[in-house]
Structures are given as C-alpha cells and as structure tokens.
Amino acid sequence: MNLEKALAGNRLVLLDESALIGMRLIGGEETTGFVSDMIDVFLTDALVCMQDMTCGHEAGDLRRIQGAANTLQLSAAHMGAETLAHVCEAIEEASRAGARGLCGEMLEACQEAYTRTEEALRDWS
C-alpha cells in the first residue's frame, strides 16, 4: 500500500514546523543544538520502532506491532511529523483489530512516510 492510499484522503502535512519552532521558542536561541539532538534521537528511535514492527509482522506478533506503532506515533506527533504519526496510528488500530495482513500492507506506507519525514527534518535542521 502506498502512502497516498494509506492516508485515505486525509489532508496532512508531512512536517508541522510549528512543533519544531515551539521547541526553539520555549528555549530561545541557545536550544538550536537541542532541536538537532531531538531530531537525531527521534530518527534513531523511529528506525528501531520500524524494525520492531517488521519483526513483529514476520513473527505474527500483533502486540509487538501495536506497541512499536504506538511509540512511533507519539514520537512522530511530538516532532510534528503528522503523516508518519497518522500512518502509525492506523497500524496500531489494525494490529489491535487483529488485521495482520493490513498491518503488513501499511508497513510499506510507513517506510515511505519515514523516508520523506527524515528528508524534511534533515532539511529543516
């Protein structure tokens, strides 16, 4: 399933920059390094979550998929990565509903959302 299909017509931005600006606003100028660190931590952890979801799917472990999707959804939301957060939420719901096949299909969309988000975040920082 490609990303557009996964989004099911929801008009979401790839990256809500206000979240990142908010991080800067609270801390002031000197937190520029902090925001970059945040992006690094997020991207590193996101890879771990995606790996977890893939392994869970291969092993038929829906609880593992659900846990990893929930973690990534929250992290993505904190970072303003709306598209990625939306796809993760959908995967979480699918796994909770026991729809293993749907989960597998949406993992491809998740990978695509992650790649685009990563590019956007790297550009932003």
Partner 1 sequence: MISKVFEELVLTDCLPSPSGVGMQILQLTQGDDFSTAEIGMAISADSALTGRLLRLANSAESGSVEPITTVGEATIRLGIRTVRNVALGLSLISTNRQGACTAFDYDRYWSLSLGRAVAAQQLSRHLRIGVPAEMYILGLLADIGSLALASVHPESYAELLTFADYDGPEGLLREEESRFEINHIDVGVCMLAEWGLPPTFGEAARRFEGLDFAAQGTKLSSVEALIKAADIIARLCLGDSSKRTNAPSERAARYRTLRASCSLDNELFDRIADSIAKEWREWGQLLHIPTQAPFGFENLANGTEETSAEGVLNEKQSSNMEKAAQIQALKPVPGISGLHVLVVENNPAAAKLIEGHLAHVGHRVTVVTRGDDALRVVLEENPALVISSLETPGLDGLALCRAVRQISTGRKTYFLLLSDRTDEAADVQAFEAGVDDFLVQPFNPLVLVARLQAAVRCHATSVLLAAQENKLVKHNARLQILMRKLRSAALTDPLTGLPNRRYAMKRLGQAWETSVRSGRQMSVIMMDIDFFKQVNDRFGHQVGDVVLRETSIQLQEVCREEEDVCRMGGEEFLVICPGSGSEAAMACAERIRVAVEANVVRWKGVECSVTISLGVASREPSMTQDDDLIKAADDSVFIAKKSGRNKTVIAEINSPRRESA
Summarize as ranges the residues that interact with partner 1 (CB under 8 A). Answer: 22-23, 25-28, 30-31, 34, 37-38, 41-42, 44-46, 70-71, 73-75, 77-79, 85
Instruction: Of 19, 18, 11, give the one whose Cα is nearest residue 42.
Output: 19
Q: Tokens for 107?
A: 């993992």
- The least distance separating partner 1 from the CB of residue 14, rounded to whole angstroms, comes to 16
- The least distance separating partner 1 from the CB of residue 98, rounded to whole angstroms, comes to 20
d(CA 125, CA 88): 23
Nearer to partner 1, 73 or 95 (CB): 73
d(CA 97, CA 9): 22
Do 103 and 50 contact (CB within 8 A), yes or no?
no
Nearer to partner 1, 30 or 101 (CB): 30
Nearer to partner 1, 41 or 55 (CB): 41
Contacts 24+ apart (CB under 8 A), 32-38: 35/125, 36/125, 38/79
Helix and strand numbers (H, E) in the chain are 6, 0
- The least distance separating partner 1 from the CB of residue 39, rounded to whole angstroms, comes to 9
- The least distance separating partner 1 from the CB of residue 78, rounded to whole angstroms, comes to 5
Nearer to partner 1, 30 or 123 (CB): 30
